[in-house]
């Protein structure tokens, strides 16, 4: 399986989170998965301007020239995209959110009815599954995790996919790797 990890950790000194992802990446690679980790803090990802140029001027590609085009190509060519981030004040990092805002070129501006709701039409025949790995902060509780999982479940629906796996860094690497391998 081709897996892309979007590392949304904004703090390079948070080595516990990065170490968890390194060890997960190692386990998944040892299980014959092709794993790529994109450390978003080390990339040039500009904010979405909301200009819709990706739909009108340069269909399927953001008009802002940054690393988001490469991330979008990596994502659409994956079987699974893991969105990962520490939970900061009840939400995933702004860094991860900024990148997820930039995947809008991967869908059409046209609408279809999907599961009884209006959603954008797919641009591609196939989209990757989504997953989420969160690191709890000192005051993160189970309800916070439910909320961010629900938000990312909605993100997956808009991305023509589903949220296939969710966990926290409190979960054992073996259990997480095994769950991903069963997808």
Q: Which is it for strands 91-92 and 129-135: parallel, antiparallel or unpaired? A: unpaired
Using the 8-state DSSP alphabet, how is residue 100 labeled? H
pLDDT at 133: 98
Using the 8-state DSSP alphabet, how is residue 160 labeled? T
pLDDT at 138: 85
H or E segment and range at residue 55: helix 53-56
pLDDT at 115: 83
Q: Which residues, other chains included, contact 101 with Cβ-Cβ below 8 Å and sequence gap of 6+?
A: 47, 48
Q: Which residues, other chains included, contact 92 with Cβ-Cβ below 8 Å and sequence gap of 6+?
A: 8, 83, 85, 86, 134, 148, 152
Separation between Cα atoms, residue 69 and residue 61, nearest integer Å = 7
pLDDT at 114: 84
The pLDDT profile of the chain, 183 residues, written as one tens digit per residue, is 999 999 999 999 999 999 999 999 999 999 999 999 999 999 999 999 999 999 999 999 999 999 999 999 999 999 999 999 999 999 999 999 999 999 999 999 999 998 888 999 999 999 999 999 999 998 999 999 999 999 999 999 989 999 999 999 999 999 999 999 999
For the chain, which domains are there? 2-181 (3.40.50.360)
Beta bridge partners of 129: 80
Take residue 60 and report the two structure tokens written for it. Answer: 């399927």
């Amino acid at each position: 399986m081709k897996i892309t990890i979007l590392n949304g950790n904004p703090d390079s000194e948070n080595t516990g989170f990065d170490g968890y992802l390194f060890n997960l990446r190692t386990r998944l690679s040892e299980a014959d998965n092709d794993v790529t980790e994109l450390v978003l803090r080390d990339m040039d990802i500009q904010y979405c301007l909301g200009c819709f140029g990706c739909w009108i001027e340069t269909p399927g590609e953001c008009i802002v020239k940054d690393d988001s085009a490469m991330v979008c190509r990596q994502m659409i060519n994956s079987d699974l995209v893991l969105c990962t981030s520490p939970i900061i004040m009840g939400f995933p990092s702004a860094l991860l959110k900024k990148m997820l805002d930039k995947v809008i070129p991967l869908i059409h501006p046209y609408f279809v009815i999907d599961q009884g709701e209006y959603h954008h039409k797919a641009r591609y025949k196939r989209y990757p599954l989504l997953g989420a790995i969160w690191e709890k902060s000192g005051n993160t509780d189970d309800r916070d995790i439910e909320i961010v999982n629900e938000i990312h479940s909605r993100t997956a629906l808009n991305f023509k996919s589903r949220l296939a796996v969710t966990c926290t860094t409190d979960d054992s690497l073996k259990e997480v790797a095994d769950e991903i391998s069963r997808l």
